Structure 1
Amino acid sequence: MARRAGTADGTALRAARRPEVRLPPLEPYGDGGLERDGDYDGLDFDGTDLAGQDGAGARFMDCALTGCVLDETSLRRARLLDTVLTGVRGVGTDLGEATLRDVILADARLGGVQAHGAVLERVVIRGGKIDFLNLRGARLKDVVFEGCVLVEPDFGGARLERVAFADCAVRGADLSAATLVDVDLRGAAPLELARGVDRLSGAVISHTQLLDLAPVLAAELGVRVMP
């Protein structure tokens, strides 16, 4: 059951459940390329260059990906389960309609990740920087963004439930048509919204954030602020 935290108005905020990933002893992956619909179980991808490879529909179970290169890697509709990714880097990684469940993504350096329509459940994204993360139409449940930098993340049309932002920077986020349920934004500094400020219902923000967002909120309501 999700933990509950109090908010300033006394209502309960359901906290995100974190993944509990305990990897078994792993076998080295080796030098082979990814295969579409491949099955990867209990493998250690250590510094593996996966750039340009096609692992669409593959399943990764109890795996560790450390320092891997993911430039233009296709993991579309892949399933990443009980898996830890550390220090991965790349541009244009395709995770469209993928499933990430009980996953830890730490210290990533990624740009232009396509994760539209993806399902993220019990996921922690810790440290690192992700530019232009496309999560349009995705479903996020029990997801924590912690100590990371998100530049222009796109949550358009996504559903976020029990999602928390802790000690991270969110710049130019798009919440257009998104649905937020028990979303804790208080740990985001700065919190910058490019679009979708009207979708903040269901989120919790701090007093400081409210003041920072006042110009955007006023513009959304058509309120003119004059000296």
Structure 2
Amino acid sequence: MSKIKVEKAKLPHDLPTTNFQEIYDMEEPYLNNCLISNCTIEREKVEKIEFSQVIFKNVVFNDVSFRNIELTDVTFENCDLSNVDFMGGIIHRVEFKESKMLGINLSDATLGNVLFENCILNLSSYGYSRLKQVQYTNCSLRNADYYECNFKKVGFQQCDINEVNFSGTSLKGIDISSSTFERLSVNLEDLDGCEVSSEQAIGFATMLGLKVKK
């Protein structure tokens, strides 16, 4: 069971608290070096918004679309990002902790040095995304979609990956041995080099129609 080394978000101490609406006082939607906490960001649709060195804590994102977002050195703690649209985003040195992210759209995105820890990511979408040095720890990823993704140093540690779609995504070098599932959608050739437990290996053999004698 290997854990991917993820570079942590670089954040200064004692960030000042900022109201999210203040970004509209600027010519471009950009926010940096601040803490946004205990609030709801509602019905916002902004293209190419940028956040740098920002902490979101206890924030609910309701009906939010930030397509082509740029996140650098950002943390989300105890947030609700359910159904948020981050399609096409560039996400670097970002941490999602103890957050609800049902149905989040991260398709066609680029993720580098990203940590998901104790998050609910059921029905999340990553189609055509590029993930490099991304760690999932104790996350629920039921029915997540990784169609035609590019994985490089991606870790799933003690996650629920039942019914995840990995179609068209090579799992070579990916360790899923500590995670649980009853069924996956994955092409046989994409399993080459995937690291699994002996119990999972039997499960894959059964999926292939093989009868394993004990």
TM-score, length basis structure 1: 0.74
2:24 to 26, 35, 46: 35
Ranges of 4+ aligned residues in structure 1 off by more than 6 Å: none
- Residues 63-212 of structure 1 mapped to structure 2, 5 A cutoff: 63-188=34-159, 190-199=160-169, 200-206=171-177, 209=180, 210=196, 211=199
State the identity as a percent: 18
Moved more, 62-71 or 120-129: 62-71
Alignment gaps of 5+ in structure 2: 181-195
Higher strand share: 1
User: What is the Cα deviation at residue 206 of structure 1?
Assistant: 1.4
CA distance in 1, matches of 2:141, 2:177: 14
Task: Provide structure 1 residue ranges, at least 5 long, that are not aligned to the other structure.
Answer: 1-5, 8-12, 40-56
Contact residue 24 and residue 62 of structure 1 kept, 8 A: no
Count of aligned pairs: 194
Q: Give the letter for the 1:182 counterpart.
A: K
How many angstroms does 1:197 deviate by? 4.7
- 1:121-140 CA-to-partner distances (Å, cap 9, x unmatched) read 00000002111010110000
Secondary structure (helix, strand or coil) at the match of 1:35 reads: helix
SS at match of 2:140: strand
Equivalent position SS for 1:88: strand
Cα distance between partner residues in 1 of 2:50 and 2:202:
40
**1:71 CA displacement:** 2.5
In the other structure, the counterpart of 2:16 is 26
**Counterpart residue type for residue 35 of structure 1:** Y
What CA distance in whole angstroms lies between the structure 2 residues aligned with 1:158 and 1:88? 25
Q: Does 1:224 align with 2:209?
A: yes
Q: C-alpha offsets along residues 49-100 of structure 1, whole Å, 9 cap, x if unaligned?
A: xxxxxxxx51111011102212221242111000000111133211210100
Q: CA deviation at 1:208?
A: 5.5
